[in-house]
Structure 1
Amino acid sequence: MQLQDIMTRRIATVHQDDRLEVVKDIFEQAPFRHLLVVDDEERLCGVITHADMYRALSPYLATDAELERDRDTLQRRAHQVMSREPVTISSGATLASAAGLMLERNISCLPVVDNLLLQGVVSWKDLLRVLIK
């Protein structure tokens, strides 16, 4: 079985200059934990995980202790917190090679890229779903 058979094709992306406020809104409304970051030509340039975003935001947001400087963390840009040069894989790769790459690089998702074009994304949960079927 190849990744093209299981990858998520409907992917959410943000642009590298989008503010963390946008990223936070997407994560709060969607059930996934990875956002792919693209440049002005829609080329993949990074990944932001749910954890990356929360590390960048003030822990005092939406609390009684919130100050202006806490709200300012929402104005940071995606490129300031994303993981750069993400590890990618092709749609024709096997599930075993994807799993091995995730374990080797200690990552939880792989953007699927063919001929420099973003095709989808596969996560460790996608691989587990196939395993239990």
Structure 2
Amino acid sequence: MLVEEIMKTDVIRLSPDETIGQALHLLQEHRIRHIPIVDEENHVIGIVSDRDVRDASPSILSEKSDRTAFERKISTIMSHPVLTVHPLDFVEEIAKVFYEREIACLPVINNNKLVGIVTEKDMLYTFIQLTGTHVQSSLIEVKVPDIPGIIPEVTKTFAKRRVNIASILVYPYKKDALYKILVFRVQTMNPTPLIQDLRAAGYQLMWPNNIPEPKV
């Protein structure tokens, strides 16, 4: 999946000469947490977060607070340089950037101009879609040998039952590098026949593992 498929293109932005008060108004009005700062050519030169604005704003608890703080230019509190991504970057790769850099927002640029924005909320929603948890489904985890062709071999069982697969995830089996775990989300609320078929084919079920074997 590409960044352009999940980014928001209607980006609220500010110029560096606009004020902290204007930034606060936009953050509250649009219920957003980040605002890119751009120059006259729409180049990203900084970014401000709701925390930056909150820290720079006068305290509502102080009677002597300096209300002129709202008139300061946003350029005085913006973070720069700004880490950005391209519309054709892979979502899976920028997820690693979010994690490693501990950031909550990435402006998207093309030809050095701002074209979109991706937030941690967008990433979380994308993860929900990729894992198939947004549709009614059942979860099945199967332990299999880490060999070529194993996934289509296992999915033959689902095809026989004419059950649609919403998503497939693969992760290593930590206790033995010779195996991996296949995580299937299947669009059926009664996975028992599938589970019994998988067991009959010799596969070990990691989840669910509490459905009894069929009586013979």
Deviations 1:44-72 (A, max 9, x none): 10110001100111113xx5x333x5201
Of the three residues 82, 85, 93, the one matched with 1:97 is 93
- Could you say which residue in structure 2 is the equivalent of 1:5? 5
Contact 2:107–2:118 (CA<8 Å) still a contact in 1? Answer: yes
- TM-score of the pair, normalised by structure 2: 0.57
- Could you say which residue in structure 1 is the equivalent of 2:119? 123
- Could you say which residue in structure 2 is the equivalent of 1:114? 110
Give secondary structure in 1 for the equivalent of 2:121.
Answer: helix
4+ runs of 1 displaced by more than 4 Å? none
Q: Which residues of structure 2 form unaligned runs of 5+? A: 130-216
Q: What's the offset of the Cα at 1:31?
A: 1.7
- Could you say which residue in structure 2 is the equivalent of 1:18? 18
Q: What's the offset of the Cα at 1:74?
A: 0.3
In structure 2, give the amino acid aligned to 1:76. R
Q: Summarize the alignment of residues 17-96 of structure 1 with structure 2, pairs less than 5 Å apart.
A: 17-60=17-60, 63=61, 65-67=62-64, 70-96=66-92
Q: What's the offset of the Cα at 1:40?
A: 2.4
CA distance in 2 between counterparts of 1:36 and 1:45 reads 8
Count of equivalent residues:
129
Q: What's the offset of the Cα at 1:129?
A: 0.5
Give secondary structure in 2 for the equivalent of 1:83.
Answer: coil
Structure whose alpha-carbon radius of gyration is higher: 2
- TM-score of the pair, normalised by structure 1: 0.92
Give secondary structure in 2 for the equivalent of 1:14.
Answer: coil
Deviations 1:72-128 (A, max 9, x none): 110111110111111001000111111111112111010001110111000110011
Q: What's the offset of the Cα at 1:41?
A: 2.3
Structure number with the higher helix fraction is 1
Contact 2:20–2:72 (CA<8 Å) still a contact in 1? Answer: yes
Contact 2:41–2:113 (CA<8 Å) still a contact in 1? Answer: no
